[in-house]
Amino acid sequence: MAIPMLGSLAALVLAIFVMVGSTSNSAPINDLYFLRIDTTNLSVSSVVPDINGVDVSSTVNSIAHEVGISDFYTSGLWNYCTAKKPDPNNENLMNYTFCDKPKAMYWFNPEEILSESLSQGPSLTSELSAVMPEDVKKYLDILAGASKAMFVCYLVGTIFAFLTFVLGWFTFYSRGTTCCVATLALLTFLLLLVSSGISTGTYMIVRDAFNNNLSEFGIRGSLNTKMYGITWGAAVAAAWACFGWFFAICCGNTDRVKVVTEEKQPFIGYVPDPYQPHGHQEGHRI
């Protein structure tokens, strides 16, 4: 009983961490994301044309981050966050500055986000959109559909993990309840497994698309090993719980609780014998 309950609890806690990642600009929530786009080395030399034969790309590069581009963009399940790089020598250190409002069925659209960041420079925005490689745009379409499927799987999987843990406390009373909990545990495992697989595979493809096609602009993509450790940990914990519940059914560890009631004894009264002398009376039991 303890093994599947611990597995259910672990799966629920880890799934909740995935769900709340990047939803608030506060540690450690803001540091839980799937994909990070690094623009600290942004170069627009191939985007901005020369003006009267003068190369102005170096000037634009120096002010690009001042007109709205952040050093980092991270993507979670509900929204994205932006961050600055406080230490040029430490690329893993980020100072988060903003997290977008969480919304259901969110998907990370870097082209739109960068365009919004460059709203003060419309000419640069249009040029950036124009030179976005077709391979990246193609993978963004895949990311849009995969993100929605991933969102549904994570949401339903977390709800099922909660129900599995709560109903698990009632498996003492009925084998039928245990069967229902085991079924929920199986569904939880499958949903968390699918969502973890979608997030890992999709964001690996998008990361490689950025690194292979946007390296000339100094834009790099990377994955957050912490977040993927949590999501795959949730799937493993759900598998542990699922195995434990089905093992409990097979081995009969969830027998119905027997309520033992004490059998009442019949009342035995005493009636004195009127024919016996006083002090030596014998009674009849009735």
Per-residue pLDDT reduced to its tens digit, 64-73: 555 567 889 9
pTM: 0.77
Distance of alpha carbon 184 from alpha carbon 109, whole angstroms: 34
* Backbone φ and ψ of 21, nearest 5°: -60, 130
Q: Are 143 and 107 contacting, i.e. CB atoms less than 8 angstroms apart?
A: yes
Q: What is the structure's pLDDT at 270?
A: 53
Q: Give tens-digit pLDDT for 167-188.
A: 988 877 777 888 999 999 999 9
Distance of alpha carbon 25 from alpha carbon 98, whole angstroms: 6
Residue 280 lies in a domain: no
Query: By residue range, what is the domain housing residue 163?
Result: 2-272
* Cβ-based neighbours of 209, under 8 Å, separated by 6 or more: 133, 135, 136, 139, 221
Residue 177 lies in a domain: yes
Half-sphere exposure at residue 130, Cβ-oriented, CA atoms within 13 angstroms:
10
Residue 135 lies in a domain: yes
Residue 277 lies in a domain: no
Q: What is the structure's pLDDT at 85?
A: 85
Q: Give tens-digit pLDDT for 44-63.
A: 554 554 444 444 445 445 55
- Taking alpha carbons only, the member of 237, 227, 195 closest to residue 28 is 227
Compute the C-alpha angle 70/88/54, nearest 5°: 65
Residue 168 lies in a domain: yes
Mean pLDDT within 92-112:
87
Bigger pLDDT: 1 vs 70 = 70
What's the gap between Cα 238 and its chain centre?
A: 13
Residue 279 lies in a domain: no
Distance of alpha carbon 221 from alpha carbon 168, whole angstroms: 42
Q: Give tens-digit pLDDT for 11-32.
A: 999 999 999 999 988 888 999 9
Residue 286 lies in a domain: no
Count of domains for the chain: 1
